[in-house]
A and B are shown apart, each in its own frame.
Chain A
Amino acid sequence: MCLTFSPDPAYVRTVRMVAVAVARRAGVADEMLDEIRLAIGEACTRAVKVHRRDGLADPIEVTMSDGAPDRGRGGSGGRFTVWVTDRGSAEAARKELAGGTGEIVARATVAPSGEDTGRNVLDEEALSIGVGLALLAGLVADFAVLDGPGEVGTEVRMSWPVGTASAGAAGTGTRPESATTWRVRRAPRARPGGADDGSEGGR
């Protein structure tokens, strides 16, 4: 299924709820639903912030594949696959990824200078855009950031196994044709559960 929404923070919760409902219906194990809720929320939040930063009113697109055989966007059987597509600056997205988590911690530990009532709000907004991608890279085993369609914007693609938790070894989604996948610097700490289906993530 595919849905689009205006870059308004008020809609992100609705998209999270829809995504969890679709994932559950696709047969994703219950214990993965919290991760899916956070990850899709995070990807949509990032897209909303990127559109606000870049002054774009264009809608954000969310596509979900329920794990049925390929539907032409690189989804594959056995995986619940989600694409969140924004129209923001791809260059800025590359910088976000390059920063990794070290940048977040470094900025978190620097005390603000001078009076800061309200002044740091923008700073926090920028910070949390960076945190979002770092969080996704560390949270989701199969996570990729791709160039958006027509080289405009960014597409965040994530997938989870359908069926029991042990089905994690099933094949991951193949990459959309001719898309450029950026290298993601993972958080230093491996996700709990270790190497399950993580081989596809972060290519």
Chain B
Amino acid sequence: MELSLAARTVAEYVVLEIGGEVDVYTAPKLRERLIEMVNAGDRHIVVDLGRVDFLDSTGLGVLVGAHRRLKARDGSLGLVCPHERLLKVFRITGLDKVFDIHASVEDATRGGAARAARTGS
């Protein structure tokens, strides 16, 4: 597997740090992990893409799925994406307007989960 996943808690958030390549082969592992987290009761999740080398449309599909699941439960999904080459993928697909994208984990977790639930559309 060219994918690593590590979760940690920051205030009311669970930060899932992803490393490696998210593609059609590795994305199911990410999908399963996010579903497990939501089923375990995590409601405010921040996905940190800072160590991601490659992200394709399959990865976007998984993030969209997590976003929808969390919204349906009054939760929020934040993304940390400091790299232009990944941001480009979100912009081209118009998903930069759907996701709450931050430059750092500190930015994504600032202000508390209540704020995230209100504005994380």
Question: A residues bordering B, Cβ < 8 Å?
Answer: 9-10, 12-13, 16, 34, 37-38, 41-42, 45-46, 48-49, 101-102, 104-105, 107-112, 116-118, 120-121, 123-125, 127-129, 131-132, 134-135, 138-139, 187-189, 191-192
Contact = CB atoms under 8 A, between A and B. Distances in A.
Nearest to B98: A108
Nearest to A49: B24
Interface of B: 2, 21, 23-25, 31, 35, 39, 54, 56-58, 60-62, 64-65, 67-69, 71-72, 85, 88-89, 91-95, 97-98, 121
A123 B71 CA distance: 17
A11 to B, nearest CB: 8
Given A102-B94, A104-B94, A111-B72, A117 B35 contact: yes
Contacts of B62: 124
- Most interface-central of B35, B67, B94 (chain A CB within 10 A): B94
Given A110-B68, A117-B39, A124 B56 contact: no
A101 B93 contact: yes
B94 to A, nearest CB: 5
Contact of A127 (B35, B64, B97): B64
Nearest to B99: A108
